[in-house]
Structure 1
Amino acid sequence: MDKIILNACRFYGYHGAFQEEQTLGQIFVIDVELSVDLQKASQSDLLEDTVHYGHVFEVIQRHAEQEKYVLIERLAGAICDDLFEKFQPIQAISIRITKENPPINGHYTSVGIELERSR
């Protein structure tokens, strides 16, 4: 299946299980791969024959910056649900959400989750 990919989209949000996360916020890095049949778009060169990744970005941004979730698993699930609802050509979604600075003691580059969903 063909893919539309949004890499390393960065948002400032207030998601987390700890009060500090919900009050101070932090940066969330979100990667999304959308499985979409792009054959028609690859031949027509018409925007209406694909999924507009600018509109996809806006959906992700709204959830990441305007909503508040305790779990990043729920943030990812809400994004998937919304993308499936708004963009019928999407057949499957892989989404990765990373926190670079969660409030846990230790040495690491980041922590995160990845979900894979399909219709």
Structure 2
Amino acid sequence: MDKVFVQGMKFYGYHGAFKEENELGQRFYCDVIMEMDSETPGRSDDLDDTVNYAQVYETAKEVLEGEPVKLVETLTHRTAVLILERFELVKAVTIKVTKPDPPIPGHYDGVAVEIRRERGFEKQ
């Protein structure tokens, strides 16, 4: 399978296990890797033959700026499910959601959850 990357998407959401996170909000980053056959769009040069990256962005935005949840794992899972549901060409997807400023002590580049899901999993 070929891989298509949509990386470094930035969002502002109200997710987190602490009340302050739900009230103040914070930044979230999202990277998406879609596994698909890109031979047809590679030959045709036609957007209708592939996945529209702007629509992938809007799908991630819907989750990451949408209904507040407690866990980064939930954001990652929901994003994977929606991408597999909406983009028929995608056979598997890897999603990484990063929370760069979690409210925990220490100096680091944040916390992240990365998952990979294959077509069919979202119906289970």
TM-score, structure 2 normalization: 0.92
Match of 1:66, SS? Answer: coil
Identity over aligned pairs, percent:
42
Aligned residue runs from structure 1 range 52-91, under 5 A: 52-91=52-91
Q: Following the alignment from structure 1 to structure 2, what is the Cα–Cα distance between the partners of residues 99 and 87?
A: 26
Correspondence 1:34-113 to 2 at 5 A = 34-113=34-113
Aligned structure 1 segments of 4 or more residues deviating by more than 2 angstroms: none
What is the letter of the counterpart of residue 107 of structure 2? H
SS of residue in 1 equivalent to 2:65: helix
Segments of structure 2 that go 5 or more residues without pairing to the other structure are 120-124
1:13 corresponds in structure 2 to 13
Question: What CA distance in whole angstroms lies between the structure 2 residues aligned with 1:105 and 1:12?
Answer: 21
Alpha-carbon distance in 2 for matches of 1:57, 1:18: 27
Rounded to whole Å, the distance in 2 between the matches of 1:48 and 1:118 is 22
Offset at residue 48 of structure 1 (A): 0.9
Work out the CA distance in 1 between the residues paired with 2:89 and 2:100. Answer: 32
Q: Which runs of 5+ in 1 are unaligned?
A: none
The whole-number CA distance in structure 2 between the counterparts of 1:16 and 1:60 is 17
How many correspondences in the alignment?
119
Name the CA distance, whole Å, in 1 between partners of 2:106 and 2:82.
34
Matched letter for residue 87 of structure 1: F
Matching of residues 23-34 of structure 1 within 5 Å: 23-34=23-34
Take 2:86 and 2:97, find their aligned partners in 1: how far apart are those partners? Answer: 21
